[in-house]
Amino acid sequence: MSAQLRLYNTATREVADFKPLVANKVGIYLCGATVQAAPHIGHIRSGLNFDILRRWLTATGYDVTFIRNVTDIDDKILHKAVHEEIPWWAVAAKYERAFSDAYKALNVLPPTYEPRATGHMTQMVELMQRLIDNGSAYAPGNGDVYLEVRKLKSYLTLSNQKLDDLQSAEDADLTYKKDPRDFALWKAAKPGDPSWPTPWGAGRPGWHLECSAMAHAYLGESFDVHGGGLDLIFPHHENEIAQSQSAGWSFANIWMHNAWVTASGEKMSKSLGNSLQVHEILKKVRGIELRWYLGGAHYRSMLEFSFDALEESSVNFRRIEGFLKRATDLLGATPEGIISAGFTEAMNEDLAVPTALAVISEILKSGNTALAANDLDEVKRAASEIRGALSILGCDPFDPIFATDSSSSAETLDGLISLALEQRQAARARKDFAASDAIRDQLAALGVVIEDTASGTRWSIS
Ligand SMILES: [Zn+2]
């Protein structure tokens, strides 16, 4: 059994033992959403994958500081503001709320801190000043500020590219840039756009600058893990590294990237329409089921979305839930979650969730056998190990977070069937067998099968 967590590091392209910079503590920075539209499942996968990492680290004894930023000023937000005829900040607030709702529905824990870009202009100006003072950046006088990429030897090592191979943008304007590949830390204000003052003129930050400044503000000059989607490796993460290392900070120790959700083999995009927005899918399945499906693939594997696969996954999840419910009824108490050796081994190997799911499946099999044999000790062990595993995956049906989502309909169902069974019991007690049989038959017609056992009446949905 592997007692040591091992993680894949994009920077070294290998899986290696995880060693925190400070004993028992972990700092994680995850690039969060640009809040310009309601999230679809492709937007939410990153938050969900890194939530599993965070839960696993916490469960294994680490004190985790988890930062996920909000990019609340951006070209896309400004375009949306024009389109929706509301102020840019109202667009940002509206979609930030939509993201928060989606994260909550999927039981993605709130980050320790969730900084907004617009709340950290001072830190961004300080970082630019530092970079200009040490000769890494320049302000050519047009209100922009650029980083001089040629000065940083390690530039492009994350994405394994060479600077000389990097195509410069065709429209690169060399009136102000020293090199076409230099990138903007800060962009001069255009008339009518929101802007913030700096010693080099009013304007707004480039996206990359935000993350370097906020990661530094909350996690310091160096921290353990920086995460994001695969598509952020270049240019976003390369440019974050360039800014932070040019400032003299060692920055992230490990880089982790989640793969995309694809539809028909393509990266999911807005052009697929609104049907894959989280709040639309939640009309079809419960949050816990959508999470079970999205979190079930390995974080580094592409997840090809289909409603058929989602349905199949939900049915599988309901089987596990059904076992936990029957076990709870039999034991007369909710099982405490415990982490099994098999689950630990899977999670420690670069968060191998598919292997962990196979472990859960085996435990479920032996749990169901034990249930049939009325082997209480074995039922308890299986139920506890399953609950422990589900809680790390964020899919614990007993988690109160799910009591308020659409699973409350499951509770209502539970209550209604219990009521019918009480009425049936009462009819039998007064020897009105016609009434008790009628209740059983009506339940059967609705697909509810009841079974009288020595320990009481059990029910299941056929
Ligand atoms: Zn970022």
* Distance of CA 15 from the midpoint of ligand 1 (Å): 23
pLDDT on residue 60? 97
Helix, strand, coil percentages for the chain (3-state, nearest 5):
50, 15, 35
In angstroms, what CA-CA distances link 37 with 166, 278, 281, 337? Answer: 31, 12, 16, 37
Per-residue pLDDT of the chain (462 residues; tens, 9 = 90+): 458 999 999 999 999 999 999 999 999 999 999 999 999 999 999 999 999 999 999 999 999 999 999 999 999 999 999 999 999 999 999 999 999 999 999 999 999 999 999 999 999 999 999 999 999 999 999 999 999 999 999 899 999 999 988 876 656 678 999 999 999 999 999 999 999 999 999 999 999 999 999 999 999 999 999 999 999 999 999 999 999 999 999 999 999 999 999 987 777 766 566 779 999 999 999 999 999 999 999 999 999 999 999 999 999 999 999 999 999 999 999 999 999 999 999 999 999 999 999 999 999 999 999 999 999 999 999 999 999 999 999 999 999 988 755 445 666 777 888 899 999 999 999 999 999 999 999 998 888 888 888 778 888 776
**Span from the CA of 327 to the centroid of ligand 1 (angstroms):** 44
DSSP alpha helices (H): ranges in 296-407? 307-331, 341-348, 353-372, 376-392
The position carrying tokens 């968060």 is 351
| Residue 196 alpha carbon to ligand 1 centre in Å | 20
Q: How far is the CA of 185 from the centre of ligand 1 (A)?
A: 13
**pTM for this model (two decimals):** 0.86
Task: Tell me which residue of 278, 236, 231, 234 sits closest to 259, measured CA to CA.
Answer: 231
Backbone region of residue 332 per phi and psi (left: phi > 0; alpha: psi in -120 to 50; beta: other values): left
Please provide the DSSP assignment of 286-314 as one string.
-HHHHHHHHHSS-TTS-EE--HHHHHHHH
Neighbours of ion ligand 1 (CB under 5 A): 31, 211
Residue extents of the structural domains in the chain: 408-461
Residue 267 confidence (pLDDT): 76
- Ligand 1 centroid distance, CA of 9 (Å): 17
Q: Distance, CA 152 to ligand 1 centroid (Å)?
A: 19
Pairing outcome for strands 14-17 and 6-9 = antiparallel
β strands within 380-432, DSSP E: none
370 alpha carbon – ligand 1 mean position (Å): 49
Please report, in angstroms and rounded to a whole number, the separation of the first and last CA atoms in the chain.
39
Res 47: pLDDT: 98
Judge contact between 47 and 111, C-beta under 8 A.
no
Distance 455 CA to ligand 1 centre (A): 57
Give the Å distance between the CA of 237 and the centre of ligand 1.
7
Identify whether 110 is preceded by a cis peptide bond (ω within 30 of 0). Answer: no
CA of 62 to the centre of ligand 1 (A): 24
User: Could you please report the per-residue DSSP string of 23-64?
Assistant: TTEEEEEE---B-SS--BHHHHHHHHHHHHHHHHHHHTT-EE
Question: What does the pLDDT read at residue 1?
Answer: 43
CA 72 to ligand 1 center in whole angstroms: 12
Q: Are strands 261-263 and 266-267 parallel, antiparallel or unpaired?
A: antiparallel
pLDDT of residue 447: 83
